[in-house]
Amino acid sequence: MRVLVTGATGFLGGVVARELAASGHEVWGVGRDPVRGQALQQSGVRFVPLDLRGAVFSSLIAEAHAVVHSAARSTLWGRWADFYADNVEVSAAVARACAGAGVRLVHISTPSVYNATGQTQNISESTAIGPHFDSLYAHSKYLAELEVQAAHPEATILRPRGIYGPGDTSILPRLALALRAGRLPRLDGANADGGGEVHTELTHVRNVSHAVALALARPAPGLFNITDGVTIPIWATLDRLADALSVPRPTRQANPRTLETVARVLERLYALHPRRPEPPLTASGVRLLTRGMTLDLTRARERLGYVPVVHPDQGLEEAIQAAVNV
């Protein structure tokens, strides 16, 4: 099968492209980074340098049998116009091109769309979402889902929770940086849910790649939650990361609600700056450390045949070592 992977020079897209190529597919990887594109080609992926925003790519999609759309603006901070252009408009264009050419589509979304629903445990894909969202990113990804479903009803939409693993530049590396700088307060003693430790689910990048491969081999339209299927304690994991880094564990207690209020004030102040730099603290970032989330994987198990291939015990150890060596 000839598979076109967007965002192939990114973390998830790169792993998906390489694993699909290793399994015998002819893979074309679209991305903006020529250096990473060269590395992809050495892994058997044909690299196509392209910025999807404003690009005409329907002829490229028409040459594929399937498209994995993993390209996105994935950050907790930014301008709405950029989120809308990169996540909503590009996704809509990709979906329309796939539908017009009769090409299978696997679209990567996010369970961040659930953040403002008030639900945190065993959340299913049927959960009512909107009209309020806790970040511009979550809002744009939800609108992207609606565009994809309208243009290509047969598309598979995956919502992987907290993607991590070797090559990750977001979750563990950023936490490692905060731990090394000694600026991460401890929030587990009085978290936003009123308990102690915060339990959540994450998804190893190879588990997401496995779900993508299943969706290509066993087409199933609709929405699918994807995680490692096992809850992990956030703060015990941070202690484990601190030990691996040989730095002190976070001990300075802070009230998460107060910290979230401070973050909102910082966001308003930084938004006034002409360049809108990312503030040192965001409300979404605080919530990620203080509000756990678990997802119902029933649909993925029954319709995709999804069973995680990497367990968190193995995956986190691997990811922690990678973060230590950054």
CATH number of the domain to which 90 belongs: 3.40.50.720
Q: How many domains does the chain have?
A: 1
Please enumerate in sequence order all residues whose Cβ is within 8 A of that of 189, keeping only pairs 6 or more positions apart, or say none. Answer: 196, 253
Per-residue confidence (pLDDT) for residue 188, from 0 to 100: 65
In a domain, residue 236? The reply is no
pLDDT digits (tens, 9 = 90+) for 95-107: 999 999 999 999 9
Do the beta carbons of residue 250 and residue 179 sit within 8 Å?
yes
| Most confident of the ranges 69-78, 262-271, 295-304 | 295-304
Average pLDDT over residues 162-174: 89
The separation between CA 210 and the C-alpha centre of its own chain, rounded to angstroms, equals 15
- % of the chain residues with pLDDT over 90: 69
Q: Which residue has the higher pLDDT, 63 or 280?
A: 63
Boundaries of domain holding 73:
2-165+203-228+293-309
The answer as to whether 195 is a domain residue is no
Is pLDDT above 50 for 242? yes
Asked if pLDDT for residue 75 goes beyond 90, the answer is: no
14 part of a folded domain: yes
- Asked if residue 257 is part of any domain, the answer here is no
pLDDT for res 266: 86
Core vs surface per residue 154-188: b (16+ CB within 10 A) or e: ebbbbbbbbbbbbebeebbbebbebbeeeebbbbb
Q: What is the pTM assigned to this prediction?
A: 0.92
pLDDT (average), residues 26-32: 96
Residue 247 in any domain: the answer is: no
pLDDT at residue 65 tops 80:
yes
The C-alpha atoms of residue 326 and residue 241 are separated, in whole angstroms, by 13
* Residue 142 annotated to the active site: no
**Mean pLDDT, the chain, as a whole number?**
91
Q: How many CB atoms lie within 10 A of CB 94?
A: 29
Q: Note the pLDDT of residue 195.
A: 54
Asked whether residue 108 is assigned to any structural domain, the reply reads yes
The string of pLDDT tens digits covering residues 270-292 is: 878 777 787 777 777 787 888 88
Q: Is residue 321 part of a domain?
A: no
Task: Establish if 256 belongs to a structural domain.
Answer: no
At residue 287, the pLDDT reads 79
Tell me which of 259 and 230 has the higher pLDDT. 230
Catalytic residue among 114, 137, 142, 164: 137
